[in-house]
Amino acid sequence: MVFEVVSSSVVGGVYLAAKMKQKGSSKMQDHEKIISIAEACKLKRGGSSIRLHRKTKEERFTEYVYQIPHGLSFKKFEEHIHEFEDGLNIKKREYIFNPRGIKMLWSYLKNGEYNQQTFRSDLHHMFFVKNDMAKKIKMSFDGMLHFKVFDKWIPSNIEFEEPFLEGCESWVIPVGDNGEQMLKWKIGREHMAIAGGTRQGKTQFLKMVITSLLKLYPDKVKFTFIDIKDGVSLNRYSSIKQCFTFTDEIQGATSSLNAIYAEMKARGAYLKAHGYETAEEAGIYEKHFIVIDEAAELSPIVKGNLKDELPLRKQCEMRLSEIARLGAGYGFILLFATQYPTADVMNKDIKSNINQVVCFKLRSGRQSQTVLDKWGAEKLENPGRALVIDGVTNHKVQVPLMDNKYIDSVITPHIVIKPRKDDENESISEEGTTSGKHTLVIEETELS
């Protein structure tokens, strides 16, 4: 019986290996498929088709570089990207080796489950697992046509890791994984809009940006936090010394924006008087980030039913428009977040002066059109997935989820203890005053 089982195992293994080899030898390679699809899409000239120049295997993708016939443009190939992707994914069911198969085989034999008729099939299921591929393509052109073919697309969930911050300097921070690498942006040069529906990653992204800035540039940042929605999301940052103002109500928001506008105008007057155009030219490298979590709460139109607060909301809208138009060159940067990206919330002054956009999944194509000037954000696959635009460059990324424990580890060294008003006149015991042993000295910094 043992001999029969062993013999059948050998025969089954040899049969399976031969079958897999046969399938592999008859399978058209990806670079051949790309050429075939190009020809089917009539992307050829004078009988000449694209020709493979080189193939490079990277960790997360394989790059194929082609020479294209004279008279064909890159735009023509871009128009057929869906045909290329669909063609590469036809009958793309492959099998990967499962090392746990040895343990499964031992259990199979030990428990007497052997069946001569089904053994080959059983052996196949034990040692090989179906891998349903869904290949994605990125195309580019630099005189040669580049196809980057990804066997595994962007992960659906990424935990933030401190190595993501490596190499970040000169106001560069991590933004998200674009399938090839962790995409990093220069921030603080332009305003940023962050849009997304409820629980799609908008506030988590804001927290990652704030914490990254604090970790990388603690002596060069100042923050104003306006969280009228509930005050909970950004409250953990309210006691750091870099916090200029934190407010969770409309009166405080109005006062904060008025103060920022006054400071901005004063800096503008200083630059003009000394012949400078920007804060950096004048040697002012500090950036003041105005972080607004749920900008719709400041809108006089969206919240127009609250008549007694209408003048305050109009004042906030005016100040935000002025900061958007003038602030970036003076070192005042808006981080403008909302889950209601409509013209009532993001008016033309704000939208036209925002070049960096991070857009998570939205409820409708109309909202996507407002933020990105195109459809697409309504079709994003999962929370944390975002379409990002830096000027004119578009990417799809998965934004890392930064754990609150890590956030607290970064902000704790920057927390300052602010005395309560009812403690300011509290008498100190004679013993404590004389010896100094029990006297708590709280020094307020300029930023606090």
- pLDDT tens string for the chain (448 positions)? 443 444 445 434 534 453 454 454 446 899 999 999 999 999 999 889 999 999 999 888 999 999 999 989 999 999 999 999 988 887 545 566 777 778 788 887 888 777 877 787 777 777 776 655 578 899 999 999 999 998 777 888 999 999 999 999 999 999 999 888 899 999 988 999 999 998 999 999 999 999 999 999 999 999 999 998 877 889 999 999 999 999 999 999 999 999 999 999 999 999 999 999 999 999 999 999 999 998 999 988 888 777 889 999 999 999 999 999 999 999 999 999 999 888 888 888 898 999 999 999 999 988 999 888 888 999 998 999 999 998 777 889 999 999 999 999 999 999 997 665 455 444 443 344 333 333 334 344 444 3
> Residue-wise over 217-250: b if at least 16 C-beta within 10 A, else e?
beeebbbbbbbbbebebbebbbbbbbbbbbbbeb
Q: What are the φ/ψ torsions at residue 72 (nearest 5 degrees)? A: -105, 140
At the topology level, CATH places domain 162-414 in: Rossmann fold (3.40.50)
Residue 87: name the closest of 39, 33, 44, 134 by CA. Answer: 33
Distances in Å between the alpha carbon of 118 and those of 9, 123, 125? Answer: 12, 9, 11
Are 229 and 432 in contact by the 8 Å Cβ rule? The answer is no
DSSP classification of residue 416: -
pLDDT on residue 6? 47
Are 400 and 176 in contact by the 8 Å Cβ rule? The answer is yes
**Which structure tokens are listed for 171?**
């106001």
Question: Residue 288 forms beta bridges with which residues?
Answer: 222, 332
Intervals of CATH 3.40.50.300 along the chain: 162-414
Beta strands in 58-190 (DSSP E): 62-67, 93-97, 128-132, 136-141, 145-150, 172-177, 182-186
Rounded distance, CA 289 to CA 210, Å?
Answer: 9
pLDDT on residue 437? 39
Q: What are the φ/ψ torsions at residue 178 (nearest 5 degrees)? A: -100, 15
Rounded distance, CA 430 to CA 197, Å?
Answer: 58
Rounded distance, CA 231 to CA 225, Å?
Answer: 9
Beta strands in 322-446 (DSSP E): 332-338, 354-359, 385-390, 393-398
pLDDT on residue 230? 75
Q: What are the φ/ψ torsions at residue 360 (nearest 5 degrees)? A: -85, -175
Beta strands in 202-313 (DSSP E): 221-226, 243-247, 287-293
